Structure 1
Amino acid sequence: MVDDRWQWYPPEVEGWLGALWGKSAGRAGGTVNLLLSHMLDTAAVAEIVWDRYLPPVTRRRLDAVAGGPGKGRRLFAWLCGIHDCGKATPVFQCLDPAGEAAVRQAGLSWDKYAVKGVSWRHDKAGARVLRALLTEATWSKEQVGWVWPLVAGHHGLIPTLGQLSPPKRNERLQGNSRPWKLAQSALVEVFSRELGYEGEAPLAAVEPLEVPSRAMQLQLAGFVVMADWIASDERHFTGVSDLARVTMPQARQRAAAAWARLGLRGGWGALPLPGPEAFQDRFGHGPRPSQELVLDVVRRMGGPGLVIVEAPMGEGKTKAALAAAELMAARHGADGVFLGMPTQATADPMFTQVRSWLREVGDGLEDQVALLHGKRMVNKQWRALLEGTGEWGQDADSYYSSVGEDEFGMSTDCFDGCEGGERRVPAEWFLGRRRGLLSPFAVGTIDQLLYAATRTKHVMLRTAGLMGKVVILDEVHAADVYMSQFLLESLWWLGQAGVPVVLLSATLPPEQRRDLAAAYLAGTQSAEAPAAPELPEPQGYPSVTAVWPGRDGQPEFLVESTESWRHDLQVRVEVLHEQPAETDARAAEGGAGPADAAVTDYLRERLADGGCVLIIRNTVARAQATFDALHKEYGADVRLLHARLHAGHRADRTQEVLELLGPPREGSERPGRLIVVATQLAEQSFDVDADLLITDLAPMDLLLQRIGRLHRHDGVKRPQALSRPTVVVTGIGLDDDKAPYILRASEGIYGRYLLLRTAAEVERAATAGGGTWSIPGRVPDLVARVYGTDALVPASWTEAQDDAQQAWEKRQNERRDAAGEYLLTRAGEHGSQTLAGLHYGTRSKLTEGQFEALVRDGDRSAEVVLVRRLGEDDFRAVTGRSLGPNGEVAAEVVDDVLSGTVRLPARLTEAAEQALGPLSGWRDHPWLRHSLALELDRQGEAVLGDFRLRYDDLLGLVVSGGRPWR
């Protein structure tokens, strides 16, 4: 049979394309894979991505870019497959000796001395080759301008146009002879013809009709990488060296088999519009007024936009957001959901809740939810879901380290998932590093979204995963000024991409609400400096604020409010004064002091008839000291929760407290007396009910979050002495003649300015003679007052407030500027029309731990796994179970070892990374080989640098040395 593909070209072209290689035999299962074969494989994968994965909204938009319905699929496949055209250059073809010999024998030659030892990657070479070919094909400058960065950036970094040039302007690296130029042109044309572009000028026929938005370009860049990585997997795409077998039909067969074997799939596809009964069906009860308000606003919105839901703790914001997400997805063509939580601890229970919701939405959808955070392997539910899939090693390896990762972001020792067994998690491929957000549904920390706003390698994979989903972010008020820069940048890109976003908060300062809305709307207008929209303030609480771009490009909005389903609590405000000299001296020494004795005395009177108390301290050391004092008085009636408990203790104690103080259940019995001492862990997404709250001073919005744990549930029988909800504020000493004393540790965390303004409101209520706050009714007003600019503090505090304000504003500006170094878009470039130079100035490669520090402006912190070493070859898990003589871990002991995971204070990070490593018996273990083992002696102690560490089963990790509050 005559192959008529070559009728358009000189006879030698067929020989050239039959020699140009894309994957060497060593990287393609033992047989060289021709370059045209790999390009067609990638295009065929892209076709399946279009058919079975791309969100409906993305397909619609690509159809418009390509020139009409049905045309987007072919353009999408072309954009993905063309990525490796730069391999048709001497600088690449000389990299494999066998491949080089075949190319030379086919008649393509080059000066071996010109290319020897020269580094010029094929992604840059490809962009340069393609720019020239598209220009010759009479593509417009605008169309050429947005396409070449997709090729130049398919290995994760998108250069500037100037960075495409070969070293020393050596054109021989690209192939400047007539044969090379003809080979490159023929390769691109033959590839285009295989995809169905016909005629004498097939490349001209490829030209799109419209230039997509920059956000869509970034999304496409991510899908180019996705298709390339799948088609580069030699397990599924072995080499094809016979040009006669390199056809699009053959590539489609290979791609279909690979897709089926990988088990990849999208989300819910074209979701039908949920009816009025959907909420009842999903959650087992009808919507509360605030939940109905959210759904009503979403139905009335004129297009995809941003919805900000502000409602009291326990109002049911998450259920409202999930119901709204289903409605938004049906209306706007989103294919999944990402739900971001403030911490790993809050993400874990949300993972369970989202799976339950999806089980009601559609059959099997609950098995497509990925849990995304760095310690998901410690989550027992996640690990149970992985059982039988054969992917545990891949999951752990991809999340704990990038060691062994090849140029395609793949672990070099990854393996196929289990052929048998029912999948209960997304496909193994989605669980690899950087790919988590590509899962159809995902629950994780907000960091996952913030990473997508950083100018880091392969950021396009993260954005591609986000831009087809509905994005829900909970507790957004927790983002400080540094984190907020990444949040605002994310909202800018999501706005330009037309992604529906739901933000949840107990309440937001008016300025923060306006900034969030402005960032999203600026993205829809590609504006550099977002102008805050003239949004009216909500007139009630709970409230919903929605913004979206109107048909004429002008912002439109809805601001609505309703009544809470619960009546306001009249919360009494008291202050338990502390003295600066005693408190700060004791903090420096560690251990219980006068402040803890005062709490003990106070509770001795208030708990005469029993009761349940929540005490929130602002530092671990202070929580440990308070617990120590109370434990001596009340013994087993006291619990301690903080971030330096090892994973096993923390999970068990958290679960116990939630069961004892959670929502009343039939058959459950509330303790007669219980005191829970905790850090900020109890501040958010912690559904417990306390009869009495004692809390260190915090900024007003966070203080109100803590108050949300007070008298939270209905139907709870309380002692008479605690029948009136009361919050007792500590860490403060009020003085009529001067500014108050505020705990130094609290100022170090939150800054003095907002604490002073919050203290003014606390003093006003506490000295009013039975003064109360009406909660939640007064929540928006209290937050607005503290974060506003009106005079608030007493006259004797004014000078101190002015000094604190100057320091606070200086620090805010410094942190805002510091974030700017890492933001995805540099200052002044939000109006750019293409991705060219996106990664200019990118920092070096970052690990996952460094990512967390990057978006949270914190010092890097290390996690260690505690093990007890009782003898030379006697290693024990923290549970006491024995390990092998070198620390080897049997399968039945893995849980025991992982339960010893604990995060060290940031000041110990450098010492830990220098001194610690895995036990020798862990080096081949898929979950533990990159873990840091901290060996404790028989007394539970260890020395790390200049610090002495002790793990106490009651107190957790106790650190001696340095400043305890850091």
Structure 2
Amino acid sequence: MDRQGSVVALMKAMGLSPEVMERVSRLWGKSAARNGGRTHLLLGHLLDTAAVAGQMWEGYLSAAFRRRLDEVSGGRGRLWFMWVCGIHDCGKACPAFQALDPTEAAPVLATGLTWGRLPTDRKKMWRHDVAGAALLRPRMASEWGSEEAAEWVWPLIAGHHGAFPSVGDIGPRHREVQGRGAAWEEAQRAVVDVFTRAVGFEDLADTRPTGVLRKAEQLALSGLIVMADWIASDSRHFTGLADAELISFGGARRRAEVAWERLGLRGGWQDLALPRHRLDPLIDRLGVQPRASQRELLERAWSMPVPGLMVAEAPMGEGKTKAALAAAEVLAARFGLGGVFVAMPTQATSDPMYEQVLDWVRTFDPALESQVALLHGRRRFNAWWRAIWDGKPRPDGDGCGCEDGTGPCGTGAAAVDDFGAIDEDDEYGMAPAEPSSAGQVAVPSADGPAHWFLGNKRGLLTSFAVGTVDHLLHAATRTRHVMLRFAGLAGKVVVVDEVHAADVYMRQFLVEALRWLGQAGVPVVLLSATLPPAQRQLFVDAYLSGVLGTADVHQPVPEPAGYPCVTVAYGAGGRAVAETSREAVPPWRESAPVELAWLPDIDPSGARVAQAVRESVADGGVALVVVNQVARAQAIYQELRDAGFDGSLHLLHARLCAAHRADRTAECLRLMGPHAGEDRPRRMVVIATQLAEQSFDVDADVLITDLAPTDLLLQRIGRLHRHSGTRRSVAHLVPRVLVTGVAAGRDGIPRFLRTSEKIYGEWSLLRAAALVMETAGPLVAGEEKNPRPGSDWSIPADVPSLVARAYGEAEICPAGWPEAESWERWRAEELKREGNAGGFLLCRQREWAFPTLEGLHYAGSRAATEEQLDAVVRDGAPTAEAVIVRRVPGGHRAYDGTWLGVHGEVDDDEVTDRLMGGTIRLPQGLSEAVQAELRPLPGWADRPWLRYQSALVLEEDGTRLLGANRVSYDDDLGLVVERL
């Protein structure tokens, strides 16, 4: 160790008195009890964190964010970034923290740094994050000569444990906890000054920023501070140093370099080069012959003068997602972004998109595939994710196939959060890192994945990520460590597919996210086939309000020239700009008539639907049935199966266990997808719920669907005649839709399935029924079908007008229908849900223009766990998951019959995989019963993937009571719930 560069030598050079040097040299930052048995001095941790920040600057931060830090620091962005990350824990130099561990406190007391009686109520204890802000704020204001600079920097220190307090919260509540007397004042001042000099500044005054980051940029910076802190808190890479003579910034840099390499951390695109030709991202990178709508989106990405919002509206199957990836490459190269996050509406739609993004990033560099994360709770069942992140055999047969996870691809233990998992949920930063179940530190290969990113709240920090839109919405909630999530978005291009799928509650968080992303200068691409004009305007206004820093921007979006269309919005010269396609863009496919007819039926048994299915494919063909309720889908399937349906029959819904759902989805895509070819069966029926509504790339000859709101109905129609070149019989040359789930009531007023009305509300169903009726004719009681000759919608040409009319203000229902009354009820419910969401939004509207993060967590954090957070953005009780286990004589078996042992013991990873294939999501109505009655099996305690998973143990008869329900699992039907 180079003692000449130690902090002790530096303190001598600074002329500190021996007493102050001794006190500073005894202040501890990590206790031996919580740090692998070795004390780590406070100055050592501050310098470790600064050194990690230096590694992040070189190998992780986007060029755009580096530029901004350079701009606000007078060209010293790297140095200032290291300083602000390292200074975060200076507040540990106070009695409230130093007294937490009696063993560590003894040497501190021996130096003369004493304290009296401290409060025992932890809620009133002076936390070190708040103490740091209280310590620095007056010094920065005085020595920087700028209160404005101090006011945006101090919340970065105060918020590093996940929440930003108000300025009133950092006032001294109890003088003793902050440190009373000259000895404490001198020691606290010396900690800041010594660290500041060690990093490379002359003094605290020299650290003054010359500019101000915008509030959203401050939030991203705060997340990066947390990231640096967590990495530097991993005692396996940053062992404790209890001798100040051994602490130096040079030593910290060497430790950080080794840790960075061993953890396999890296950024994504580093100074991505511009494509040589404007269409290369589509032609060379994605291998597509550009369609007009794809060219339009890509051209907009080239021409937009600054980062902004792009809204691409195009028919189903038009290739919007590939165009969005191409646009993302151009935006990243032009504006210095390092990666992409693609947000999908569901877990089911995320998996195929993950594989598409994998293929795409490999074209830049095959090694980049190890930086693509899949963000949802069932990613373990995606074969490609397992191959890359868990060391399993690759689906294409290539790679090492480290079955036990001990080879160069990574370690089996790395799947759990074993990397610096401290400070996250412990109020005082005293929680220890969770030991690895393997007892070893993962050593990834040079090109392997960085398992550190698998930790809780860190997924978005990977360079490339695909996941459910919830992860974007989480970054707009007033919850702990929201800054970490936002930091993962700030260096990327954000793509949101099927953006129309967000309901009014989720839309509040989407709008909030767009505000913050706009202010952070993050390019966003929104994709939809059926976006109501009012939502387009809402999204544009939200993004521009962020750009301009005010809450009430309204920039009218011009009426598009046609469909497809692209809308762009950005700020230029302090003003808002919103433009749309100036000329009509021809769709890929010519519009074609789609015949609509009624199939009146609200019988839950589905017998009429099953009969219509048989008739529709009597002479061959592929039928897709989409219904609004799992039990109805199960009933229709059972009716066809029990009647001996002669053909390929499939059932797909959300109450299938993970393995069955994945297998069936893959099989449907194989038989009905774009590459089906000769595999396409002569006669096939798929009965599905809303899972088949979007991002399900299949091609059906005929669609039978429950009535749904118009935009969703059109999404379902988008599965009809989707792929060119598909061979069809003469009977199916014209796409045909039978609309069911509705029946004629009194005075011709439609009656709906109770489930449909509960999900969607009466108003949107009435409007959809009225639009269908214009072509299919009136509902007639007692008739199975009554199509009107020549009745059709022209798809895709009619899509924009149908959606606009469905959600417009003009009445469209026949006289006598309760349209006005249902609208009043619908609007009241929408306003109620908007209000419910408001309590969880990251920032109150009246505070949006505030320039700093001070007081952001004004009402505290409202969600503690990932499950609770999912419920926050999805407007419902937390979803409950369990693993299906069957009780048998002498022990238990997995859903597929794999033996587990008397207490559910699992011997190896292969058995764990098979068991986890039985993971099932239970209906929300069972959530309370699940929490009250289900627990992990005792034999799962030492298995990282299982120890927190509830077991749904089915008795020997295949059933069990759960609350007021009897549940069972049928390999064909999935979970069956019977209300007692």
With the shorter chain as reference, the TM-score category is over 0.9
| Aligned partner of residue 635 in structure 1, secondary structure | coil
What is the match of residue 752 of structure 1? Answer: 762
Counterpart-to-counterpart distance in 2, 1:551 and 1:18: 52
Counterpart-to-counterpart distance in 1, 2:834 and 2:121: 46
What is the match of residue 925 of structure 1? Answer: 943
User: What letter is aligned with 2:50?
Assistant: A
Counterparts of 1:274-289 in structure 2 under 5 Å? 274-276=275-277, 277-289=280-292
After superposition, the C-alpha distances for 1:22-53 in whole angstroms (9 at most, x for unaligned) are 12222344332221111111111111111111
Counterpart-to-counterpart distance in 2, 1:853 and 1:203: 44
Select the residue among 832, 837, 841 that pairs with 1:819: 837
- Whether 1:449 and 2:479 are equivalent positions in the alignment is no
What is the match of residue 178 of structure 1? Answer: 182
Contact 1:658 1:687 in 2 (8 A): yes
User: What letter is aligned with 1:671?
Assistant: P
| Aligned partner of residue 900 in structure 2, secondary structure | coil
Deviates most, 859-868 or 781-790: 859-868
Counterpart-to-counterpart distance in 2, 1:170 and 1:421: 51
What is the match of residue 119 of structure 1? Answer: 125
- Whether 1:781 and 2:801 are equivalent positions in the alignment is yes
Counterparts of 1:683-762 in structure 2 under 5 Å? 683-734=693-744, 737-762=747-772
What is the match of residue 650 of structure 1? Answer: 661
What is the match of residue 347 of structure 2? Answer: 344
Tell me by how many angstroms 1:653 deviates.
Answer: 1.5
What is the match of residue 440 of structure 1? Answer: 463
Counterpart-to-counterpart distance in 2, 1:255 and 1:656: 47
What is the match of residue 160 of structure 1? Answer: 166
Tell me by how many angstroms 1:510 deviates.
Answer: 0.4
- Whether 1:538 and 2:560 are equivalent positions in the alignment is yes
| Aligned partner of residue 847 in structure 2, secondary structure | coil
After superposition, the C-alpha distances for 1:255-313 in whole angstroms (9 at most, x for unaligned) are 11111111110011110001223322222232121111111111111110000111111
Counterparts of 1:764-779 in structure 2 under 5 Å? 764-767=774-777, 769-779=789-799
Change (3 A) 1:675 1:8: same
Contact 2:592 2:794 in 1 (8 A): yes
Counterpart-to-counterpart distance in 2, 1:176 and 1:433: 38
After superposition, the C-alpha distances for 1:477-528 in whole angstroms (9 at most, x for unaligned) are 0000000000000000000000001111112100000000110000011112
Contact 2:60 2:268 in 1 (8 A): yes
| Aligned partner of residue 719 in structure 2, secondary structure | coil
Counterpart-to-counterpart distance in 2, 1:357 and 1:43: 35
What is the match of residue 262 of structure 1? Answer: 263
| Aligned partner of residue 44 in structure 1, secondary structure | helix
What is the match of residue 913 of structure 1? Answer: 931
Contact 1:197 1:205 in 2 (8 A): yes
Counterparts of 1:79-158 in structure 2 under 5 Å? 79-112=84-117, 119-158=125-164
Contact 1:820 1:827 in 2 (8 A): no
Contact 2:530 2:715 in 1 (8 A): no
Tell me by how many angstroms 1:116 deviates.
Answer: 9.8
Tell me by how many angstroms 1:140 deviates.
Answer: 1.1
Select the residue among 651, 664, 682 that pairs with 1:672: 682
What is the match of residue 632 of structure 1? Answer: 642
Counterpart-to-counterpart distance in 1, 2:867 and 2:887: 27
User: What letter is aligned with 2:310?
Assistant: V
User: What letter is aligned with 1:180?
Assistant: W
| Aligned partner of residue 809 in structure 1, secondary structure | helix
Counterpart-to-counterpart distance in 1, 2:417 and 2:963: 29
Counterpart-to-counterpart distance in 1, 2:254 and 2:145: 32
- Whether 1:611 and 2:621 are equivalent positions in the alignment is yes
Change (3 A) 1:949 1:193: same
Counterpart-to-counterpart distance in 1, 2:578 and 2:714: 31
Deviates most, 512-521 or 38-47: 38-47
Contact 1:404 1:412 in 2 (8 A): no
Provide the aligned length of Structure 1 versus Structure 2.
Answer: 935
User: What letter is aligned with 1:263?
Assistant: G
Change (3 A) 1:844 1:502: closer
Select the residue among 388, 393, 396 that pairs with 2:413: 393
Tell me by how many angstroms 1:748 deviates.
Answer: 0.4
Counterpart-to-counterpart distance in 1, 2:592 and 2:306: 38
Counterpart-to-counterpart distance in 1, 2:675 and 2:73: 57
Tell me by how many angstroms 1:403 deviates.
Answer: 13
Counterpart-to-counterpart distance in 1, 2:19 and 2:947: 53
Counterpart-to-counterpart distance in 1, 2:536 and 2:422: 38
- State the Cα RMSD in Å: 2.1
What is the match of residue 208 of structure 1? Answer: 209
Deviates most, 540-549 or 601-610: 601-610
Counterparts of 1:448-527 in structure 2 under 5 Å? 448-527=471-550
Tell me by how many angstroms 1:188 deviates.
Answer: 0.8
Select the residue among 423, 429, 443 that pairs with 1:419: 443
Contact 1:374 1:848 in 2 (8 A): no
After superposition, the C-alpha distances for 1:748-767 in whole angstroms (9 at most, x for unaligned) are 00011111111101000102
Tell me by how many angstroms 1:622 deviates.
Answer: 1.0
Q: Could you state the TM-score of these two structures normalised by the residue count of structure 1?
A: 0.94
- Whether 1:554 and 2:554 are equivalent positions in the alignment is no
Percent identity over paired residues: 51
What is the match of residue 869 of structure 1? Answer: 887
User: What letter is aligned with 1:17?
Assistant: V
Tell me by how many angstroms 1:665 deviates.
Answer: 4.5
Change (3 A) 1:680 1:299: same
Select the residue among 591, 598, 613 that pairs with 1:575: 598
Counterpart-to-counterpart distance in 2, 1:402 and 1:508: 43
- Whether 1:939 and 2:943 are equivalent positions in the alignment is no
Contact 2:595 2:737 in 1 (8 A): yes
| Aligned partner of residue 525 in structure 2, secondary structure | strand
Counterparts of 1:769-848 in structure 2 under 5 Å? 769-797=789-817, 800-848=818-866
| Aligned partner of residue 899 in structure 2, secondary structure | coil
- Whether 1:898 and 2:916 are equivalent positions in the alignment is yes
Counterpart-to-counterpart distance in 2, 1:606 and 1:554: 53
Tell me by how many angstroms 1:108 deviates.
Answer: 2.2
After superposition, the C-alpha distances for 1:350-373 in whole angstroms (9 at most, x for unaligned) are 111101000002241112101111
What is the match of residue 187 of structure 1? Answer: 191
Contact 1:63 1:72 in 2 (8 A): yes
| Aligned partner of residue 269 in structure 1, secondary structure | coil
Tell me by how many angstroms 1:331 deviates.
Answer: 0.5
What is the match of residue 781 of structure 2? Answer: none
Contact 2:693 2:716 in 1 (8 A): yes
Counterpart-to-counterpart distance in 2, 1:21 and 1:735: 76
Tell me by how many angstroms 1:738 deviates.
Answer: 3.6
Change (3 A) 1:126 1:421: closer
Counterpart-to-counterpart distance in 1, 2:491 and 2:431: 22
Change (3 A) 1:34 1:698: same
| Aligned partner of residue 845 in structure 2, secondary structure | coil
Counterpart-to-counterpart distance in 2, 1:271 and 1:720: 51
Counterpart-to-counterpart distance in 2, 1:487 and 1:234: 38
Tell me by how many angstroms 1:115 deviates.
Answer: 8.1
User: What letter is aligned with 2:296?
Assistant: L
What is the match of residue 38 of structure 1? Answer: 45
Counterpart-to-counterpart distance in 2, 1:523 and 1:191: 36
